Amino acid sequence: AQSVTQLDSQVPVFEEAPVELRCNYSSSVSVYLFWYVQYPNQGLQLLLKYLSGSTLVKGINGFEAEFNKSQTSFHLRKPSVHISDTAEYFCAVSDNYGQNFVFGPGTRLSVLP
Amino acid sequence: DAGVTQSPTHLIKTRGQQVTLRCSPKSGHDTVSWYQQALGQGPQFIFQYYEEEERQRGNFPDRFSGHQFPNYSSELNVNALLLGDSALYLCASSWTANYGYTFGSGTRLTVV
C-alpha cells in the first residue's frame, strides 16, 4: 500500500520569497510522483511529474521538484512566489502506470503582499 | 479544445436518495477515473473505467457504481446517500498509458 504525507497543512509566505512544500511517500514498489494545484472552486491542475530519469523535475509556473529516493521525498519548490500562487497543493503517488493516484492531504499556500 | 466537462456543478440531495453525476472526457482520452474529495482533504480514488469496463476500484462500498459509454463519457452513481457522501466529486481523463491526467472542475454534492 502507498501513502503520502504532506508535513505542512498551511504555509504562509510573503510575495517574491522562496517556498518549499514538503512531500514524503511510502511505497514498497517503484513509484511515479506528481504535484497538482487546486485553485478555489476548481479541479486539479498538473504542475509536474516524475516518472524516471533526472531527479530534478521542472514544471509549469516556475515550480520544480526533486525526487529523493533515499529519503522518499518529492518536495516542491519555487524561488519567488506570486500572489496568484495562493492555492491548495497536492502531492500524489502512483505505482501502477498512473491507473490511480494516492493523494496527500494537501498544503494550503498563502502568499501575502 | 474542451477539457473534462462535469455536470451538474452543484447538487443537493436528501439522505437515502440516489444521484448520478456525469463526465465527458477530454477529446482523445479514453480512460476515466472518479475521485471523491471531502472538505479539507485530498482526493480519494473511487474507480477507473476503460473500454466500458471498471478496471480498478478504490476502497468504496458498492453503493458507488459507474458506467462508461462507447463515446468514453462516464457516469458515477451513488445509491442510498449518506451525509458523509457530501463532497466534491472529480472526474479525470487520460489516454491509455499516458500519465497526463486532466481533471474536471468537479461536482459539489451536498447531502442533507
Taking only the tens place, the pLDDT of each residue in B47-61 is 999 999 998 899 999
CB of B45 within 8 Å of any CB in chain A?
yes
- Kindly state the cell numbers that stand for A86: 495562493
Nearest CA-CA partner of A77 in A58, A49, A51: A58
- Kindly state the cell numbers that stand for B37: 474529495
Q: Is it the case that residue B1 has pLDDT exceeding 60?
A: no
**Residue pLDDT, tens place only, A34-74:** 999 999 888 899 999 998 888 999 999 999 999 999 999 99
Amino acid in the structure at residue A89: Y
Q: Of B35, B94, B99, which to mutate for an interface test with A (greatest number of A Cβ within 10 Å)?
A: B99
- Kindly state the cell numbers that stand for B6: 462535469
Say what the pLDDT of residue B100 is: 72
CB of B95 within 8 Å of any CB in chain A?
no
Q: Which whole number is the average pLDDT over A82-92?
A: 96
Q: Which whole number is the average pLDDT over B7-20?
A: 97
Q: Which whole number is the average pLDDT over B71-94?
A: 96
Model confidence at A98, pLDDT cuts 50, 70, 90, reads: low
Q: How far is CA A67 from CA A28, A78, A105, B12, B106, in A?
A: 16, 15, 19, 42, 30
Nearest to B42 among A41, A96, A106 (CB): A106
